[in-house]
Amino acid sequence: MSATQSDSPRKVAFLVAGEGIERVELTEPWDAVKDAGFEPVLVSPDPGEVQTYNHLDKAETQKVDQTVAEADVDSFDALVLPGGVANPDALRMDDAAVAFARDFLASGKPVAAICHAPWTLVEAGALGPV
């Protein structure tokens, strides 16, 4: 996937909870999206900053660009769900975050789920009734 001048800026939503995000599972795909010419956008249930982790140790924070309530699936070309143990668990308990993921799945746009992140997709019905 790469962006061209005619279709720029294409946006990729990164959906995360406020805490428990494995740093490398956010930063590496984020950098890859930027390197491909797309604009990564950090989406979270709450405004402010999110806390990333290196395993169990706190790492850096990142500023939320849009809350889930503000974000519109039609504004994005793809969705990335970073992992971490606590992040997907918190997301799957948030109705608005699950609805955002569900709407992305229904749109037919690409969705990437890293490590534990498929938990959110299961909650969004990606596997059908379970």
For the chain, the residue count is 130
Asked if residues 101 and 120 have their Cβ atoms less than 8 Å apart, the reply is yes
Band the pLDDT of 12: cuts 50, 70, 90: very high
pLDDT at 6: 52
Residue 85: what pLDDT?
Answer: 85
**Is 35 annotated as catalytic?**
no
Count of CB atoms within 10 A of residue 40's CB?
A: 20
Distance separating alpha carbons of residues 82 and 107, to the nearest angstrom: 20
Mean pLDDT confidence for 104-120: 95
Average pLDDT, integer, range 86-90: 94
Domain annotation for the chain: domains and CATH numbers = 5-123 (3.40.50.880)
Average pLDDT, the chain: 93
| Least confident residue range of 6-15, 30-39, 42-51 | 6-15
Residue 5 reports pLDDT greater than 60:
no
pLDDT band for position 102 (cuts 50, 70, 90): very high
- Which carries the bigger pLDDT value, residue 63 or residue 56? 63
Q: How far apart are CA 92 and CA 122, in angstroms?
A: 8
Q: Of these residues, 42, 81, 116, 124, which one is catalytic?
A: 116
Catalytic residue among 3, 85, 105, 115: 115
115 given a catalytic annotation = yes
Give the residue with greater pLDDT, 47 vs 128. 47
Spatial separation of the C-alpha atoms in residues 76 and 115, rounded to whole Å? 22
For residue 108, give every residue at least 6 positions away whose Cβ sits within 8 Å of its Cβ, in sequence order, or none: none
